[in-house]
Amino acid sequence: MSKNEIQLSIVIISSKIDYLTDCLKTAYLALKGIKNEIIIVDNASQDKVGEQIKVKFPEVKIIRREVNGGFGENNNMGMKIAKGKYILLLNDDTKILNKNIFKEMIAWMDLHPKVGLSSCALVNPDEKTYQGSGGYFPTLSRVIAWMTFLDDIPYIDKIIKPYHPMHGFSFFHTNEDYFKKIHKQDWVTGAFFFMRREAMDMAGFFDEDFFLYVEEVELAYRFVKVGWEVWYLPKWKTLHYGMITTGSEKAMTMEMQNLKLFYKKHMPNWQLPILTFTLKFGAFIRILFYGLSKPDIAKIYAKILKNI
């Protein structure tokens, strides 16, 4: 690699200056000694986040959106101009916790040339407890296990690899231990989406039909389809505040709607009606279960049931 070649391009979508400032401060500390570029996609912010952040960090590149674009569409704009050997999609509501994370993850990826996509551990603001980050592709058996709570039963996840190894509102457990160990999986969360350029060039950009949610599943599916591996690397950690831009009702509704879109694009036609029934059934049993104990959650699932 030549001295002038950019090792790492970081693409960040932002509409709030507070989170972005902290994110950039910690990112630049971890970028010392690495030829880099940071591309900020100002997602139609009213207070012109891009102009503000340029004053504090003049070296960043700004793409200004005048309309509120989706996660995939916005990231695509940054990915298309990124010049790095590696490209990281990073949420603005994150803080880098390891000062050598980028050097070490690049070195790890260099040593594992079959890996096209990876992610570090995402942790909560206490910097101790883990968040779920990706899982396995949403096959029918996995979605059925997810929607019927089967994958919450101990050891079932050894038989049916879970779509979401850790998720909210589960009956039995959250399986945090799963995210404490290095392992190969199918997809990783878009909050820290670390791509090898060669792999990205083969797999393509995000499908912009997915406005928000499941778009990283769909892109990872294309990474794997053309022969690349996806790995989760918890040796390195990033704090992720999470769920800032969307509420849980909207998030869950859009995820289920986009799972249907994923099936329309990638799965046999006969599977879509089964998926739709499974999602509706899963919402229905959650309405029953949470009706007395957590009525607010039951109301969310009642709304979801109408929209899937």
Q: Write the burial class of residue 33 (CB in 10 Å: 0-12 exposed, 13-18 middle, 19+ buried).
A: exposed
**Residue that has been written with the tokens 């693409």 in this structure:** 11
Provide φ and ψ at 244, rounded to 5°: -85, -40
Strand ranges for the chain from DSSP E: 8-14, 36-43, 61-65, 86-90, 94-96, 115-123, 183-185, 192-196, 229-240
For residue range 102-152, list pLDDT tens digits in order. Answer: 999 999 999 999 999 999 999 999 998 898 889 999 999 999 999 998 888
Do 60 and 54 touch, CB atoms closer than 8 A?
A: yes
Strand partners, 87: 9, 195
Type of residue found at 137? F
The CATH fold assigned to 8-244 is Spore Coat Polysaccharide Biosynthesis Protein SpsA; Chain A (3.90.550)
Phi, psi of 69 (to 5 degrees): -85, 165
**pLDDT for res 87:** 98
pLDDT at 95 exceeding the cut of 50: yes
Q: How far apart are CA 283 and CA 276, in angstroms?
A: 11
What six digits make up the tokens of 156?
A: 């079932």
Per the listing, tokens 């030549």 go with 2
How do strand 36-43 and strand 94-96 relate by DSSP bridges?
Answer: unpaired
Residue 30 pLDDT class (50, 70, 90 cuts): very high
Q: Is the pLDDT of residue 227 over 80?
A: yes
Look up residue 71 and give its two tokens. 């996660």
pLDDT in tens, 170-183: 444 455 678 899 99
Calpha distance 59→38 (Å, rounded): 8
Task: Please compute the mean of the pLDDT values over residues 158-176 and round it to a whole number.
Answer: 67
Using CA atoms, how far apart are residues 213 and 251, in angstroms rounded to an integer?
Answer: 7
DSSP-derived 3-state class of residue 91: coil
Residues 160 and 200: their CA atoms lie apart, in Å, by 29
DSSP states of 185-214: ESB--TTEEEEEHHHHHHH-S--TT--SSS
Q: Would the pLDDT of 252 be above 70?
A: yes
The C-alpha atoms of residue 16 and residue 67 are separated, in whole angstroms, by 15
**Residue-averaged pLDDT of the chain:** 91
What is the C-alpha to C-alpha distance for residues 72 and 63, in angstroms, rounded to an integer? Answer: 15
Tokens standing for 206?
Answer: 């995000």
